[in-house]
């Protein structure tokens, strides 16, 4: 990108990439799920599912976590599962 001193060419660069907003959204989803009680967790290789917390595709062969609590289920990729573990630790 070429920046110039002429204000009419480019708007000022400001803002963020939204990573903190995304992390907050993921944490809220996982916290809501954790409120249903301590889940049972099943770990295995993914068959190409989508993470229920962040929406990222879990590629075939990648580690996938399935958490089940009171009849509710979440499929999670590794980073989102760590958020769930963190939320469960803080709720104790």
CATH number for position 85: 3.30.1740
At residue 8, the pLDDT reads 55
- Look at residue 5 and tell me if it is in a domain: no
Q: Does 2 score more than 60 pLDDT?
A: no
Helix (H, G, I), strand (E, B) or coil at 58: coil
Give per-residue pLDDT as tens, 15-63: 555 566 788 999 999 999 999 989 999 999 999 999 999 999 999 999 9
At residue 45, the pLDDT reads 96
Tally of structural domains, the chain: 1
Average pLDDT for 55-76: 95
In which domain, by residue range, is 51 found? Answer: 24-91
- Identify whether the C-beta of residue 50 lies closer than 8 Å to the C-beta of residue 56: yes
At residue 90, the pLDDT reads 87
- Look at residue 33 and tell me if it is in a domain: yes
């Amino acid at each position: 990108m070429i920046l110039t001193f002429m204000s009419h060419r480019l708007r000022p660069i400001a803002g963020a990439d939204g990573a903190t907003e995304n992390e907050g959204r993921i944490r809220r989803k996982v916290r809501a799920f954790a409120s249903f009680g301590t889940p049972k967790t099943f770990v295995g290789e993914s068959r190409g599912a989508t993470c229920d917390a962040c929406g990222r595709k879990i590629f075939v062969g990648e580690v996938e976590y399935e958490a089940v609590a009171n009849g509710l289920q979440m499929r999670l990729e590794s980073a989102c599962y760590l958020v769930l573990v963190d939320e469960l630790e803080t709720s104790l």
